[in-house]
Structure 1
Amino acid sequence: MPAIYRKWFILCLLLSLVTSGLVMFSAIWLNRQFQFVEAFQPLDIWLLSGFVISQNVIVLPWFYWLDKRKAVQGKKERIPELVLHLLALFGGGLGALYSQQRYRHKTQKPVFQWVAWLGALLLICVLYPALLYGSENLFSFL
């Protein structure tokens, strides 16, 4: 694996973990303040939801914004397209669609549109059964 891919994958992983943790801590704190739900059970559904929210709201828009900024400035070291594709496929399809329109970035390349829609479809195919049938039946459903 080239060094540039390794660099962006590690940065993506760290940013995803940190933002997912912040989303979960915020949810726990808000729940203690206002008692929205009795308990975060099952916890894996809440962790999956926190990851998906952080990917779509924080991580992917930030990566698209950063890549657009580097493109406008004419810098050579930009975020590889493979990294943006993988982020969109693994939980960030809706964030990719939003970011493409918001920052007017990667809208002319059809492959980015297809990958973003496929990521959104995969997100729905994983989250819907998990919320409907529960996490213990998620992997038996798939």
Structure 2
Amino acid sequence: MNFNYLPIYILTIALGGSFYLGYLPPIIFFIYVIASTLTFFLYAKDKRAAQNDEWRISESTLHMYSLLFGWPGAIVAQQKLRHKSKKQCFRSAFMFTVLINSALVVGMHTNYGSNMLRSNTHNLKNYVTKNVDNQYVRKSALFLFSFRNDNYLYYESDTFYIRES
């Protein structure tokens, strides 16, 4: 087990558990996958530019992508590509972006964060069902924006309530 990847293992288990318990919709996991892939490719492009003495991607851009859910891809890139893995001031700023992003995910589990997340995903589901004609896109979007326990909840006046059986 490579301990450099431990934060990614923890994130994967936490997101899976949060989905299973009904706290997060699947779209959160897919956002991490897409952002991490994009961030990995940005690191690869920057590594290639560094080797060829070409125009580089700024460190602030790399940090921004890490902050916007791409930090797992940045960790993989730092380990696999051996890029930005030794510079201590970069690593410190990177770890700060990981902590901020982790705090955001924890915030999604608070009452306020959960209500806001459910409200926004509910609005997205409504938009997709009203404006998308393709049934496969509509079904995919409904799955991605649904919480596992949506059938137990109802939405009223910007708040979700538990249905009594």
TM-score by length of 1: 0.55
Question: For the Cα contact (< 8 Å) 1:45–1:131, is it kept in 2?
Answer: no
Q: How does 1:6-85 map to 2 (within 5 A)?
A: 45-56=25-36, 58-75=37-54, 77-85=55-63
Kindly report which structure 2 residues correspond to 1:91-106, keeping only aligned pairs within 5 A, or say none: 91-106=69-84
Give the aligned length.
Answer: 97
More helix by share: 1
CA RMSD of aligned residues (A): 2.9
Structure 2 unaligned blocks of 5 or more: 1-18, 118-165
Structure 1 residue runs of 5 or longer lacking an equivalent are 1-36
Aligned residue identity for 1:62: F
How far 1:47 moved relative to its partner? 3.1
Deviations along 1:66-93, one digit per CA (max 9) or x if unpaired, are 1101111122x22122211211122222
- Evaluate the alpha carbon distance shift between residue 116 and residue 94 of structure 1 in structure 2; reply closer, same or farther with a 3 A threshold: farther
Runs of 4+ in 1 over 4 A off after TM superposition: 131-134
CA distance in 2 between partners of 1:50 and 1:110 (Å): 30
Contact 1:55 1:92 in 2 (8 A): yes
Q: Percent identity?
A: 26
Q: Deviations over 1:53-108 (max 9, x none)?
A: 2112x111100011101111122x22122211211122222222221121111122
Question: Structure 1 residues 126, 52: CA separation in 2 closer, same or farther (over 3 Å shift)?
Answer: same
Alpha-carbon shift at residue 50 of structure 1 (Å)? 2.0
User: Which of 1 and 2 has greater Rg?
Assistant: 2
**Cα distance in structure 2, aligned partners of 1:46 and 1:135:** 14
Identify which of structures 1 and 2 has the higher relative contact order when contacts are C-alpha pairs closer than 8 Å and 6+ apart: 2
